[in-house]
């Protein structure tokens, strides 16, 4: 199958699909879409276009990254605007079909905007605040091309990079890569060209390429979206990597918690192999490259490159000390190139457009774009791709839409459990590898979690240490035992049991763990503790000196209290919702929470009707008036 023949076949497909008279309905059915109910929307569209099958086609696409607007659907009408609808439900589908498919009413009140400019009433999506600060390079096909059709990928320029690469010498490709200045997007930011060069120069005939698709950071889902929405980009990047470094086999190590991504990768692999774009003698050249998918088994440490290699070899996922680096001796002792999903996804474009194109965006030391997963207390959660150097403030307020429900910003966590929590004063920090490191955080794989005044920083540090402690592989004493002790100290503090000395101990132990750990998991595990101690010390001090949790989150230090002046008295919502039967009525009919029985589950606060809003949380617990703590006549639990 020659490149020219593929091109021609694909162009015919593409013409038929998009330049013809067919109206297209694209429904986003990646994981977030499905969780929001997009499969039911898909079914509804299929039902509603009964009878119009020749003229209307419904396709499943990936994710645009606008998770908080899902389910999303796009109607592409020949000769008219393409409109993107958000929060689509099966109930509005008949209206959309009647309105825009059968008729000429684009139902703009249900729309996010149009994909083309020039509309008078409609919003041009790229001009939305949400979009105009973004530079969607990796996301360019997501939510538009179907990941289930290789022809879409090829028609939008896919596999052109591989085709060009095969006509170049590996040294030329390495040169472009070096010009690009691309740094690994897995989190460490190691210069990709240097890694590829090291692998190329290593001794040994057999080499391997591994795509790190383990994405273990809680709060990170960028790689998942790319794999579910544009899988071919990664396959093409791996093939080019193989050609450049002399590898003939590639492995994608993907966490098992991503079943849809695994399924779509398999489909993409089959389609690419069928068309001669992977496998033996690719595009009629002498280069052969096959890719195998290896599923993870639930260990966060498997994301570390040497631990990942152990997992692929069928062993316990224990990291090894380096040197030797995997590029010298990795999988089965052979030179191995390990790169993150996003790093590989840039490769086809760098080959096509040149290293200079890539280096033209971003900053001097951190060129290119950065793909982030925005989560937490924001209006707009989902994916955002911005040029490196964009400020955190722009990311959080312009793109993220600011803190939802009108609450106050408190902190932003970048880099997952290995990263740091930064306060408001650091919001003008530009997002690039070096600036973030200076601030005490790390770029990480791209997870950004925003916290507000209702989140406790001590509880957050405890949460991250708990995670690292459970995921510690156990090899290094400092990490294995150190994270355990960090956790118990933090746990004590959240229960009001610490002292000021505990804060010094936390600091010292954190630095020891960083020094004494072999791999990135241990070395970075104390980062959330160190940054919260650095920027939020006042919260720690409130916990240990006053038994007060400023965010009123830590259960031992918080009491649920019903304000007598706000309690309606006539309803029973809180009493019925309380699983511990801890709410009783006083002599005036006002509800009271029995502090001895209360389990701090939060149900009463949730169910109290909005017009009364009578339930509040108090900290420290001694603020609860003495005469409203427990039912009169109840034997006290005090000794």
631 vs 582: CA distance, rounded Å = 9
Pairing of strands 249-254, 208-213: parallel
Q: What is the DSSP letter of 398?
A: I
Q: Tell me the three state secondary structure of residue 554.
A: coil
Per DSSP, helices labelled H in 336-418 are 341-353, 355-359, 392-393
Please measure the distance between the N-terminal and C-terminal CA atoms of the chain and give it in whole angstroms. 85
Half-sphere exposure of 497 (CA within 13 A, CB side): 8
Q: What is the DSSP letter of 284?
A: G
Q: Tell me the three state secondary structure of residue 27.
A: strand
Give Cα 349 distance to the centre of its chain: 23
Q: Which is nearer to another protein, 108 or 604 (CB)?
A: 604
Contact 55, 101 (CB under 8 A): no
Token pair 């990646």 in the structure block, residue = 30
**CB of residue 218 to another protein, shortest distance in Å:** 3
Supply φ then ψ for residue 192, to 5 degrees.
-65, -40
639 vs 627: CA distance, rounded Å = 19
**CB of residue 348 to another protein, shortest distance in Å:** 24
576 vs 607: CA distance, rounded Å = 9
Q: Which is nearer to another protein, 97 or 142 (CB)?
A: 142
Q: Which is nearer to another protein, 148 or 580 (CB)?
A: 580
Give residues in contact with another protein (CB under 8 A). 31-32, 34-36, 67-68, 70, 215-221, 224, 256-259, 294-300, 311-317, 373-377, 381-382, 413, 416-417, 447, 449, 451, 455, 460, 463-464, 467, 471, 473, 577, 579, 599, 601-603, 606-607
Q: Which is nearer to another protein, 81 or 560 (CB)?
A: 560
Q: Which is nearer to another protein, 178 or 453 (CB)?
A: 453
What is the token pair recorded at 466?
């708990």
Q: Which is nearer to another protein, 48 or 215 (CB)?
A: 215
**CB of residue 567 to another protein, shortest distance in Å:** 19
**CB of residue 35 to another protein, shortest distance in Å:** 4
Query: Between the CA atoms of 435, 535, 494 and 630, what dihedral angle is there, to the nearest 10 degrees?
Result: -130
**CB of residue 460 to another protein, shortest distance in Å:** 7
**CB of residue 555 to another protein, shortest distance in Å:** 9
DSSP secondary structure of 180-239: HT-B-TTTT--BHHHHHHHHHHSS-S--EEEEEE---STT--HHHHHHHH-HHHHHHHHH
Q: How many residues does the chain have?
A: 639
**CB of residue 202 to another protein, shortest distance in Å:** 21
What is the token pair recorded at 59?
């396709």
Q: Which is nearer to another protein, 128 or 607 (CB)?
A: 607
For the chain, helix, strand, coil in percent to 5 are 45, 15, 40
596 vs 260: CA distance, rounded Å = 47
**CB of residue 295 to another protein, shortest distance in Å:** 6
**CB of residue 212 to another protein, shortest distance in Å:** 15
**CB of residue 422 to another protein, shortest distance in Å:** 15
Q: Which is nearer to another protein, 147 or 416 (CB)?
A: 416
**CB of residue 307 to another protein, shortest distance in Å:** 10
**CB of residue 208 to another protein, shortest distance in Å:** 12
Q: Which is nearer to another protein, 405 or 588 (CB)?
A: 405
Q: Which is nearer to another protein, 15 or 599 (CB)?
A: 599
The radius of gyration computed from the CA coordinates of the chain, to the nearest angstrom, equals: 27
449 vs 376: CA distance, rounded Å = 5
Q: Which is nearer to another protein, 481 or 577 (CB)?
A: 577
Residues 6+ positions from 328 with CB-CB distance below 8 Å: 198, 202, 335
**CB of residue 200 to another protein, shortest distance in Å:** 25
Q: Which is nearer to another protein, 68 or 478 (CB)?
A: 68
Token pair 């006549």 in the structure block, residue = 633
Which of 153, 151, 142 is CA-nearest to residue 28?
Answer: 142
Q: Tell me the three state secondary structure of residue 171.
A: helix
**CB of residue 617 to another protein, shortest distance in Å:** 13
Q: Which is nearer to another protein, 237 or 376 (CB)?
A: 376
Q: Which is nearer to another protein, 265 or 350 (CB)?
A: 265
Question: CA–CA distance from 222 to each of 125, 216, 258, 308, 469 (Å)?
Answer: 21, 11, 12, 19, 25
């Amino acid at each position: 199958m020659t490149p020219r023949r593929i091109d021609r076949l694909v162009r015919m497909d593409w013409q038929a699909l998009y330049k013809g008279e067919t109206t297209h309905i694209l429904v986003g059915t990646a994981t977030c879409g499905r969780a929001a109910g997009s499969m039911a929307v898909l079914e509804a569209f299929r039902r509603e276009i009964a009878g119009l099958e020749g003229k209307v086609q419904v396709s499943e696409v990936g994710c645009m990254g606008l998770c908080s607007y899902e389910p999303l659907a796009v109607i592409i009408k020949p000769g008219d605007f393409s409109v993107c609808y958000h929060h689509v439900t099966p109930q509005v589908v008949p209206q959309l079909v009647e309105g825009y498919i059968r008729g000429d009413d684009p139902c703009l009140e249900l729309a996010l905007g149009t994909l083309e400019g020039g509309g008078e009433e409609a919003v041009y999506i790229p001009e939305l605040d949400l979009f105009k600060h973004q530079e969607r390079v990796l996301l360019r096909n997501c939510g538009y091309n179907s990941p289930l059709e290789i022809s879409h990928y090829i028609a939008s320029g896919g596999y052109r990079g591989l085709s060009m690469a095969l006509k170049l010498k590996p040294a030329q490709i390495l040169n472009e890569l070096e010009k690009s200045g691309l740094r690994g997007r897995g989190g460490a930011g190691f210069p990709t060209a240097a890694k590829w060069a090291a692998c190329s120069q290593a001794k040994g005939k057999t080499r391997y390429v591994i795509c790190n698709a383990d994405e273990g950071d809680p709060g990170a889902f960028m790689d998942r979206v790319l794999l579910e929405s544009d899988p071919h980009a990664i396959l093409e990047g791996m093939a080019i990597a193989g050609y450049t470094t002399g590898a003939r086999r590639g492995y994608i190590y993907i966490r098992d918690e991503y079943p849809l991504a695994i399924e779509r990768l398999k489909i993409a692999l089959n389609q690419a192999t069928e068309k001669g774009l992977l496998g033996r003698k690719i595009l009629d050249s002498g280069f052969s490259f096959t890719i195998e998918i290896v599923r993870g088994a639930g260990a966060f440490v498997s994301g570390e490159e040497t631990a990942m290699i152990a997992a692929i070899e069928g062993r316990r996922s224990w990291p090894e000390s380096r040197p030797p680096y995997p590029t010298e001796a990795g999988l089965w002792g052979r030179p191995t190139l390990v790169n993150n999903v996003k790093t590989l996804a840039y490769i086809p474009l760098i080959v096509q457009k040149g290293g200079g194109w890539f280096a033209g965006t971003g900053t001097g030391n951190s060129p290119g774009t950065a793909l982030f997963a925005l989560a937490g207390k924001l209006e707009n959660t989902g994916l955002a791709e911005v040029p490196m150097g964009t400020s955190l403030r722009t990311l959080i307020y312009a793109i993220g839409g600011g803190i939802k429900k009108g609450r106050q910003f408190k902190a932003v966590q970048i880099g997952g459990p290995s990263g740091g929590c930064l306060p408001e004063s650091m919001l003008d920090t530009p997002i690039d590898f070096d600036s973030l490191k200076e601030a005490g955080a790390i770029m990480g794989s791209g997870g950004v979690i925003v916290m507000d005044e209702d989140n406790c920083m001590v509880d957050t540090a405890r949460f991250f240490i708990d995670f690292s402690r459970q995921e510690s592989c156990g090899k290094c004493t400092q990490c294995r035992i150190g994270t355990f002790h960090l956790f118990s100290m933090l746990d004590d503090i959240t229960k009001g049991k610490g002292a000021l000395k505990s804060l010094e101990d936390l600091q010292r132990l954190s630095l020891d763990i960083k020094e004494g750990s072999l791999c990135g998991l241990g070395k970075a595990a104390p980062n959330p503790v160190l940054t919260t101690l650095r920027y939020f010390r006042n919260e720690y001090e409130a916990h240990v000196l006053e038994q007060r949790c400023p965010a009123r989150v830590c259960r031992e230090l918080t009491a649920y209290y019903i304000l007598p002046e706000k309690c309606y008295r006539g309803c029973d919502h809180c009493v019925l919702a309380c699983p511990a039967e801890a709410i009783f009525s006083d002599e005036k009919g006002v509800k009271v929470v029995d502090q001895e029985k209360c389990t701090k589950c939060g149900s009463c606060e949730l169910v109290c009707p909005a017009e009364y809003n009578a339930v509040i949380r108090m900290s420290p617990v001694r603020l609860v008036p003495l005469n409203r703590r427990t039912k009169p006549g109840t034997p006290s639990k005090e000794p």
